Amino acid sequence: MSNVLPGSKKTRKPVSSDDEDAPIYTSLLFELNIKAQDAVRDFSLHDIDDKEGIELKRIAMHDAFTELYDTVASFSQQIMVGDFDMAYLRNRVAQSEGEIKQQLEAALEELENQTEKNLADVWMARVMAWLHQAAAASGPFVESEHEDKQRNASKYLAKVYTMLERPFSAIAKSVDGTQKLRRVALGLQAYSLVKESLEEDDDELTSILGRNKSAEAEFYDEFLNELIGLESTFRQAFNPFDELIWRDILSSFIFEQATDLYNEAIPLFKKRKKDKEKLSTILSWKSNTSGLSEVYLAMTYTDIADAQMRAGNLEDASKLYLISSDAFGRAEKCFREILALLPNAEQSRIDKEQKKAQSLFCFAESNVQVLTELLQVNNKTEAKKVLNEIFKNLRKAETLAKTRELTGAIQGDLKTYAFVEDLLKKKGDDDISGIIAQIAFAKDLRKTALIQDISKAMDEAKIQMINNPSDSLDSIREGLDTLGILLSLEI
């Protein structure tokens, strides 16, 4: 607030307190959170054939989350104790004695700890804002890099680096991100200084550059991965479905960046025989990050396919599940390069087959509408062809399905359409349009069973929420999977 000159008629504005600002920020953060969730839904449910439109929705989603985390950082920064107040308190401690000094020292220590925590909160919120802009510029789905988003990402990253001058640690779970990034910054400075006095192909310079690339990759691979996991777990408590999409997009981007950095480091380590052991480790890390990048890309497509399936867009869901299956296949190949990663390869193989099964199931379900139309106009010949195609896809899906929910849905479909096939044979040249009512009746029976399954999954989630909240998410996802199958029957 500007000072008011003596004698001025201008009234003094009251200084706004933290208590007054808090409700304003709380309301704003709530609105921004809703805006971000709406942006995720708009992106996930957009027509996948409209590439230009889906790209605009994707960027809008990242911008919404950037605004949210930027506001979180501003709020955390505003409630921090100022440097002047800290200096004043330290001065009071120096001038005090006895019990008063002990009380002031305790208060100062508590304020210093809180300040460090607030700094960590601000820093990690800024990291999240930077990540969303960086992913908007060159993350999954991007065919050509967006220069404006790249410039925005650089601005946010500059703020992240600038904060490192303050003494604090930002630990998501076990990895200190500030320590990782300080190592990167110091490595870059060391390389810049040594480069002035050595030849470009000097062993020492090559070693420094290789270790710098490796250190930066570790920042992505370890800290950012951990931060995303922590943040997404927190947000899933409010929205267990929509939050998965942005988490998986950022995770895919993070591991893709780490893979690129490891790939840049590998030739540098190959030049030095002394780095043979380090090279072996880097190759293993690279196979892991490249595999994980594909895994999270597959999960992103799965998240969007799930949304499309729940919305009844079965053809789009089928295409997306197939793309997801292909990505899991690429992940399997990456993991098989390293013996220690064979369990990951096997899991990716299972996921690949499961997503292929879901693709076939959705494609079969999308043909049901065609079958119904043919039955309505009494076209028995074409109806039989479509029914054979449905059986073909369902039987393939049955051999690949890995989950109870999908296997049950496929087997339910097979029973329903075996019944339809039998009716077609019995009808002969008679009117076959009445079979539609029989299909509807069979679907109603299945819907009742699926509703019971959803109710059971939600009851299990409610019980687990009390004792083990993280495990309850599995039950919630199981219920959502069954809900998707239920909604597909409405088509």
Across residues 113-120, what is the average pLDDT?
A: 84
The residue with greater pLDDT, 459 or 211, is 211
**Model confidence pLDDT, tens digit, residues 206-250:** 888 999 999 999 999 999 999 998 888 777 666 666 668 898 999
Confirm whether pTM is higher than 0.85. Answer: no
Kindly report the average pLDDT of the chain as a whole number.
Answer: 83
Q: 3-state secondary structure string, the chain?
A: CCCCCCCCCCCCCCCCCHHHHHHHHHHHHHHHHHHHHHHHHHHHCCCCCCHHHHHHHHHHHHHHHHHHHHHHHHHHHHCCCCHHHHHHHHHHHHHCCHHHHHHHHHHHHHHHHHHHHHHHHHHHHHHHHHHHHHHHHHCCCCCCCCHHHHHHHHHHHHHHHHHHHCCCCCECCCCEHHHHHHHHHHHHHHHHHHHCCCCCCCHHHHHHHHHHHHHHHHHHHHHHHHHHHHHHHHHHCCCCCHHHHHHHHHHHHHHHHHHHHHHHHHHHHHCCHHHHHHHHHHHHHHHHHHHHHHHHHHHHHHHHHHHHHHCCCHHHHHHHHHHHHHHHHHHHHHHCCCHHHHHHHHHHHHHHHHHHHHHHHHHHHHHHHHHHHHHHCCCHHHHHHHHHHHHHHHHHHHHHCCCHHHHHHHHHHHHHHHHHHHHHHHHCCCCCCCHHHHHHHHHHHHHHHHHHHHHHHHHHHHHHHHHCHHHHHHHHHHHHHHHHHHHHCCC
pLDDT at 414 over 70: yes
pLDDT band at 449, cuts 50/70/90? confident
Residue 1: its pLDDT value, please?
32
pLDDT at 19 over 70: no
Between 117-126, 150-159, 239-248, the lowest mean confidence (pLDDT) is in 239-248
Question: What is the percent of the chain with per-residue pLDDT over 70, rounded to a whole number?
Answer: 86
pLDDT at 76 over 70: yes
pLDDT band at 451, cuts 50/70/90? confident
**Model confidence pLDDT, tens digit, residues 332-376:** 999 999 999 999 999 999 999 999 999 999 999 899 889 888 888
Residue 2: its pLDDT value, please?
35
Residue 229: its pLDDT value, please?
86
pLDDT at 316 over 70: yes
pLDDT band at 156, cuts 50/70/90? very high
